[in-house]
Structure 1
């Protein structure tokens, strides 16, 4: 998983066709539970999907821009544009099903 912030997210999104972005915070228990799942997805989809991590406390402009009101929020971007959004913790299969529509 690649950690990005307000300054680097746009560049990361433009350099990857598909990017799964995990918006969370270090103090958020469901976010901590999701992190290993996102790492697994990053490994399994390496070269096809970039898995990015945004700490909403460190990147409030990015969180506001994409309407992140609850954490974790996972968004799928294609060519820099948000195409899907899942709010709240979900099992790994939910993220795999989401990716299956685009990979």
Structure 2
């Protein structure tokens, strides 16, 4: 592989192709649509055996298996990078060169995926949730996860859930992958998990999808 693609041009192509978007803080994030594609390849290759991994890299770059194995060792190629490469190749309408796709895959792996926490609730993490509860002792917090079917079902009902929350009760959300301290403190081992706080203390929690009617019943009991 020869030549060095211009990083600015590669980023522009990723934005134009819907792989990357500008985040609320001005940084870059991958799009939800691209993450759906990447998740499919990640599931396929994250546990692939060595032979399958090498053969797939060889096929992707038009290399002999022995050469592909050497390239993997020399460049530290990971299964996550392979999944990103194949996802970029599948997702884009254009057909960049193999080297450009490799650079794209590297950049995609460096960019944070979008938060699973839906817009409309306050985004929290291990550094902010305690201050949030100090300021809002009556609150509903939900732990979310990427590529989580019950999370997506819960997210689809978000408007109905928010309608059931009384005035004076704050709503926040945490990405479970970046909130290990919160999960440990509140015995959260799955997603989604909805937790209701009253006077700063957790008084109720539910694992998995919670229907709007069940959510409203808990709200009525707690508040």
Q: Please tell me the TM-score bracket, short chain as reference.
A: 0.7 to 0.9
Structure with greater helix percent? 2
- 1:82 paired residue number: 202
Aligned pairs, number: 103
Segment drifting more, 67-76 vs 38-47: 38-47
Segment drifting more, 18-27 vs 33-42: 33-42
RMSD: 1.7
- Is 2:135 the partner of 1:15? yes
What secondary structure does 1:11 align onto?
A: helix
Q: Who wins on radius of gyration, i.e. which is larger?
A: 2
- Is 2:170 the partner of 1:65? no
- 2:212 paired residue number: 92
Structure with greater strand percent? 1
Question: Given that residues 151 and 209 in structure 2 are in contact (C-alpha distance below 8 angstroms), is that contact kept between their aligned partners in structure 1?
Answer: yes
Higher relative contact order (CA 8 A, sep 6+): 1
- 2:103 paired residue number: none
TM-score calculated relative to the size of structure 2:
0.43
TM-score calculated relative to the size of structure 1:
0.87
Superposed CA deviations along residues 65-96 of structure 1, whole A, max 9, x for unmatched, are 11111211111011211100111112111110
Question: 1:43: Cα distance to partner?
Answer: 4.6
Q: Distance in 1 between matches of 2:212 and 2:148?
A: 18
Question: 1:39: Cα distance to partner?
Answer: 4.3
Q: Return 5+ residue gaps in structure 1 as ranges.
A: none
